[in-house]
Structure 1
């Protein structure tokens, strides 16, 4: 009789542990409520990303704003920026790794740079992701840009999830990207 009670208690304990480990996935997903859609646009987390369209180095037009199939990562940079030089290979790697789930745009703030230097930077670091040109700095201003790089993480609904000033270690940046594409 005591043996059966111990077996029953052990089974209940194991089930409790299994349920506790699954709270971040299956069970929690059932009870997870959708965040309400913001109605305000602005350059901060929780608001709709200010929309823009810019022409890239490749002559194509790239647009940000509104709902999309993928999350969007926008990195504002300049060729003379040492942290941007450090981050470029990491962004290239992450853009390639998450290309099916993330649109990564490296917006060159050409108003603070020179076009020939931006092109040389792209060639030197062999950047494979689109490089839209913010020739007048209006988009950078829309996002209250104050430092290079400024990285904006936008979910597929078009809502800014985070703005990162400066660089992060690649593993930390990748963790943020994983969280972004999971939303």
Structure 2
């Protein structure tokens, strides 16, 4: 039986989820970090209890996906992100960043297990990474080049083919630049 107190909590949770979740890819206001700007460095603990650092130069493109377990669009895109991770392990270092400050670790773990995610899941327990990257809607995904510069910022869900094209574009740009410098 749902008591009035539980019903009120469910309604408030639903309203919060709707306010924070993106339902389709859309143009984001020009906030830093935005394309063309250096990606801020992150130091977060993973769901696997290992420490992870991002930022600066990398031998791969980096994809950061900010998500929450209660975000419907995040669940829609999770299988696609797993497929990208499986298909492009030598091209893209992928990290899921759970907005743990606005989620629960138990629900985050259930989400990861449900979707079979095998890429590192970082826990933003204090909300600092979400704040640093100016994330106000979930999912928000950033593609960062090998020099540590944000190249793409997507709010909401886009399909796998669109991500593949964006990844290929920046991967080719990086290869061309490395060839010029050698």
Provide TM-score, normalisation by structure 1: 0.76
Aligned-residue RMSD, C-alpha: 0.8
Q: 149, 156, 163: which one pairs with 1:173?
A: 163
* 2:116 alignment partner, SS class: coil
Larger Rg: 1
Report the alpha carbon displacement of residue 177 of structure 1 after superposing the two structures with TM: 1.6
Are residue 96 (structure 1) and residue 89 (structure 2) matched? no
Q: 134, 141, 162: which one pairs with 2:152?
A: 162
Counterpart residue number, 1:60: 50
Report the alpha carbon displacement of residue 62 of structure 1 after superposing the two structures with TM: 1.4
* C-alpha distance in 1 between matches for 2:101 and 2:61: 27
- Which structure 1 residue ranges, 4+ long, deviate > 4 Å from structure 2? none
Q: 135, 138, 156: which one pairs with 1:148?
A: 138
Q: 126, 136, 143: which one pairs with 1:136?
A: 126
Counterpart residue number, 1:34: none
Query: What is the number of residues matched between the two proteins?
Result: 142
Q: Structure with the greater relative contact order (CA < 8 A, sep ≥ 6): 1 or 2?
A: 2
Equivalences for residues 1-183 of structure 1 within 5 A: 42-182=32-172, 183=174
Report the alpha carbon displacement of residue 181 of structure 1 after superposing the two structures with TM: 2.0
* 1:132 alignment partner, SS class: strand
Q: Deviations over 1:150-183 (max 9, x none)?
A: 0011000000001100010111122112122222
Provide TM-score, normalisation by structure 2: 0.76
* 1:145 alignment partner, SS class: coil
